[in-house]
Structures are given as C-alpha cells and as structure tokens.
Chains A and B, each alone.
Chain A
Amino acid sequence: MTRTLGVVASAIALAGLPLALTSYQLGLLTKMLIFAVFAMSLNLILGYAGLPSLGHAAYFGMGAYTVGLLALRATDNFWLDFGAGVLAAGITAALFGLLALRTQGSYLLMITLALAQVVWGIAFGWRGFTGGDDGLPGIRRPAAGLPVSLDDGMRFYYFALLVFTAVTVVLLVLIRSPFGRALVGIRECERRMEVLGYDTWRYKYVAFVIAGVLAGVAGNLFVYFNGFVSPAYLSILFSATALIMVILGGAGTLVGPALGSAVIIFLENVVSAHTERWPLVLGAIYVALVLFAPDGLVGLARRLAARAAPAPGRPA
C-alpha cells in the first residue's frame, strides 16, 4: 500500500515538477533521469546477477558516438539514429560479453575496464573520424520522425521521463520474471543453479547484453541532451560513476540506482558551484560509502528504520 502511494506520489512529482523549476534546474533533473537509466542498466548485472563491471561506459559511449556521428554526417531521423545507437551498444556488449564473462571477480572488473579502454582508445586516437580528444560538437536534437521537436528543454525533459519510465517498466518485468529470479539465484549461488539444470552462462550473457543495450539508451539521451560527445563518455570515470550511483542507492533494488543518480548529480552541482575540488569530494564519497554504508542509502534507511521501530517482543 505505502509502495503504491510512493510510486504515485513520485510519478506526480516527476510529471509536475517542471512547472515549478527554472530551466537550469530542469536541465539538472533531466540529467538525473538520464544517469538513472545508465545506473539502472548496470544494476541489472551488478545488483541482480552479481556481475561487477568497471567498463559500463563502453556501451553508453558507443550509443552516444553512433548517434552523434549519424546525426552529423548522415541523417537527423530520430528512429534511425536512436535505433542504430542502441544496436551499436548491444553489439559491443555482445562482443565484450563473450570475452569478459569467461572470468569473474577481480578479473571481470579488470577485463571490463580494459575492454572499455579499447573503445576509448579508438575514439581518442582516430581523430579524422571521431574528432579525437575534442569530440564531436554541434549535434542537434532530433527533428525528423517525431511528432514534436525536442529542442525545447521542457519537451526534452518529458521525453527523457518517458524513456526512463519505459526502462523502469522493462526492468521491473524482467526482474519479476523467471529470468530475473534465475539471475538472483546465480548471484546467490551459481553452482546450485547449474546443478538445477540452468545454463548459467547463457543467463549471465543475456543479462549482460540487455544491460549494454539500456546503457546505450542512456548514452543516446545524453548526446541529445548535451549536443556533444567526447571520449570522456567512454572513460573509466563514467563507468565508475555508474558504479557509485548503484552502490550509493542500493544494488539489487529497483529504485536505488535512480536515487543514487539524483544524489550524485545534485552533490556535483552544489559542490562545483563552490569549489573546483569536486573530484576530491567524490573520492571522499567513495571511501565513506564503502566504510559506513556498504549497502547504500536504501540499506542505511532500512537499518535506521529497524532501529527506530524494534521488532515486537524485543525491548527497545
């Protein structure tokens, strides 16, 4: 009951907020939604299947570069560009998954990082095609193929909200399905799932590719949002940002990563307004989180709630 109320309340808030915000604040909220999609895509493999990745930016950036290159050099048709971006991210994930999922634990972290660095290296080095370090500026929001233009910040916000909602629903359905339950089973004890007759590799691989596709969706949105793409989109910093958002919000919870995205982007904005030392503060957040709230804000809230309302029959 409270959960339904919470969903309805946040839906009303997200739909109604733009009317009360300045255009700058609206941009910030849009960015939160985009990174929420990015973090939620990572959460599918990290939170549910127990597969950590330090290279999730590869699929985010691959989607972004594909959209950017097509929009600048070929067509501004939304469906073609967006579809190609998602496809490129999916193909990259399908390829990298074959290599990365042969390993686990620390090796998996290292290998996903190194593979993402391959894509970063190409984007950085191939100046003639990708613009190198300078990136590709001047990417316009899609005009053709949509009923309304997305140039306006308010419209783009609602577009991002629509995509965010769609991704949330897709993930919710996936997680509640037998496929999602099997992923959790693999996270808890892969050996047991194998004994039960599950082809665990296939489950992990499919989850890995879906996560890549959804990261690509976030990358597509971000390139339209910024009108710009650079190798930073593929960097370890972006990969680690998704990771910290998932852990901060609470891995393996549906809304946790979205909460993590909102908190990190809000803090970045506040801190950057006062000092240039945001990386220092972000680093301190990483350290503090691991030491004091390893199960994230959702876990911290649960623990505090449990302390405030002790179980019946036990003295307070």
Chain B
Amino acid sequence: MTFWTFQILNGVSFGMLLFLLAAGLSLIYGLMRILNLAHGSYYILGAYVALSVGRATGSLVLAAVAGTAAGVVLGIVMERVFLRRVPRDELPQALLTFGFLLILGDLSLWIWGGTPQTLPRPEWLSTSVRLGTLHFPAYRLFVIAVGVVVGVGLWLLQEHTRLGAMLRAAIDDPEIARTVGIRVPVLTTGVFAFGAGLAALGGIMGGPLLGVYPGADFEVLLLAFVVVIIGGLGSLKGAFVGGLVVGLLDNFGKALFPEFALFTIFAPMAIILAVRPTGLFGVR
C-alpha cells in the first residue's frame, strides 16, 4: 500500500515537471509549427544558472528568478535572431535547434563541468507532511502544486482572456489573425520566451529531485517528445495528460522493471501512434 502511494506521488510530481517542459514545446509548435530540439537546453541552463546564482547570493528565490530569466532571454534570442531567418520548414528548423542543443550542451559542460550536481531545496520544504499514517516529502507536494497552478493558470489564460483569444486565433490561422490586427510576430516571440522560461523553471524545480548533469538536456527532451506524441502537439490539455501518463509510467517502469524502464514509456507511445498518429488531443 505504502509502496503504491509513494510511487504514485513520485510519478505525479515527475509528471508535473514533464508538463512544465512539454507545455512550452507544445505551445511553440502550435503557434509556429517549430519543433524545438533545443527545448531540453533551457531545462539544464535554468538549473545551472540557478545553481550558480544560489551559491553566489545564498538566496533561492533570486536563484529561481535568474534561472528562469536565463531561459527567457535565450528563447528570445533564438527566436528573434535565428529562427526568424530560416524558412518555415521543419527540417531547417530542426537542424538549427539541434545545433543549439549541441552548442548549449557543450558550453554548459565547459562552464559547469561534468560532475552531476544537485540543487538545494528550500529549508521550509525539506520536511515531510503527514497525511493519515503516511509522511510525504513536502518538496514533491510543492512540485505538484506548482504544476497544477501553472496548468490551471495557462488554461484560464487561454480560454478566458483577450490575450488567450488572440493566441487561439493565431494558432488557428495566423494570416487572418494578422489581418484583424493581432500582432502575430510579437505574440510569437512572447510564446517562445514563455515556453523557454517554463522549461527553465522545470529544470530549477527538478534540480533538487533529479540533479543536473551533461546529457540531461537530451534525456528530458526525449521524455518531453513522448509526452507531446501521446498528448498531441499544440494542445495544453495534451501536455498535461501526457505528462501525467509518462511520469507515472516512467516511475512504475523504473520501480518494477528496471532493465526495461524505457520500454514502459515507449511501448504505450507506439500503441497510441498506431491508433491515433496525432496523439490524444493533437492539432493536425
């Protein structure tokens, strides 16, 4: 009983981290049809910058703000300076963002070294919360709470605000959106920056649980891909549901069949592909 409860808790908290990553990947795809292979780089960059700023200032809040800002700035530069000059075609975009994945990965290795590092967690979250007879680590509950707040916030933003309506219009038909006066290029940069910031936040939140190390960018990128393949590209709901599914599958796979842990994620993905190639809630 205890085993299952804890595995579910771990799976859900990991799923929320994956949601933070996949939400940006999915929104960027929905608006720009760009498959951003550098999305995992924002994750490690956020974690590394937070680590350094945390060490220098001793403030975890400053660390989190700086890490997220690093992701946002990088996202803006990539979108404004580079992606805008490339034809809107999946292959050049994939190659360009893969180039960034290599560059940022190697730069991080250069600056922060190859040893895996763990981010500190705040004092007040280092305890455990008692629910009935069980003690839950407070940090994991915090991660779940942040995921849910971000998810609900994004949903409210997209469905119930003017900005959200503009965003939905631009996703459906960028040409028409422009003719009715929506500034799609500004929106595009905004979404890219926001998505990159969310991924960086994912890295900062995940840092105390998973650590940050060279190659983590590839790992989380692949998991985020599985999330959006299952949930469907371009859909927030898909990113949320897919994140939960993959988080739980990954956790149970690792606990029950350690040698085939990756298989427990990829096999359901293959089944979903066979039945619904665009995922559960995908656009096009």
Instruction: Say which residue of A111, A118, A294 sits within 8 Å of B87 (CB atoms).
Output: A294
Instruction: Say which residue of B95, B106, B226 sits within 8 Å of A289 (CB atoms).
Output: B95
Judge whether B261 and A247 touch: CB under 8 Å. no
In the assembly, what is the distance between CA of A282 and CA of B100, in Å?
10
Interface size class of A (residues with CB under 8 A): 35 or more
A136 interface residue, CB < 8 Å from B?
Answer: no
- Taking CB as reference atom, which chain B residue is nearest A289? B95
Q: Which A residues between 111 and 129 are near B, CB-CB below 8 angstroms?
A: 111, 113-115, 117-118, 120-122, 124-128
- Taking CB as reference atom, which chain A residue is nearest B264? A121
List of B residues within 8 angstroms of A114 by Cβ: 222, 225-226, 229, 266, 269
Instruction: Say which residue of B96, B266, B270, B278 sits within 8 Å of A107 (CB atoms).
Output: B278
The minimal Cβ–Cβ distance linking A65 to chain B, given in whole angstroms, is 16
Interface size class of B (residues with CB under 8 A): 35 or more
The minimal Cβ–Cβ distance linking A86 to chain B, given in whole angstroms, is 24
B101 interface residue, CB < 8 Å from A?
Answer: yes
Instruction: Say which residue of A102, A110, A240, A244 sits within 8 Å of B228 (CB atoms).
Output: A110
Bits for A46-64, please: 1 = Cβ < 8 Å to B, else 0: 1000001010000000000
Judge whether A122 and B263 touch: CB under 8 Å. yes
B85 interface residue, CB < 8 Å from A?
Answer: yes
List of A residues within 8 angstroms of B218 by Cβ: 236
List of A residues within 8 angstroms of B273 by Cβ: 99, 102-103, 111
Judge whether B103 and A115 touch: CB under 8 Å. no
The minimal Cβ–Cβ distance linking A58 to chain B, given in whole angstroms, is 12
* 28 A-B pairs (CB sep. < 8 Å): A52-B90, A103-B278, A105-B33, A106-B29, A106-B35, A109-B90, A109-B91, A109-B94, A110-B225, A111-B229, A114-B266, A115-B266, A117-B222, A122-B262, A122-B263, A124-B262, A125-B260, A236-B218, A240-B98, A247-B95, A279-B103, A280-B102, A280-B106, A283-B98, A283-B101, A286-B98, A289-B95, A294-B86
- Residues of A bordering B, CB below 8 Å: 46, 52, 54, 99, 102-103, 105-107, 109-111, 113-115, 117-118, 120-122, 124-128, 236, 240, 243-244, 247, 277, 279-280, 282-287, 289-291, 294
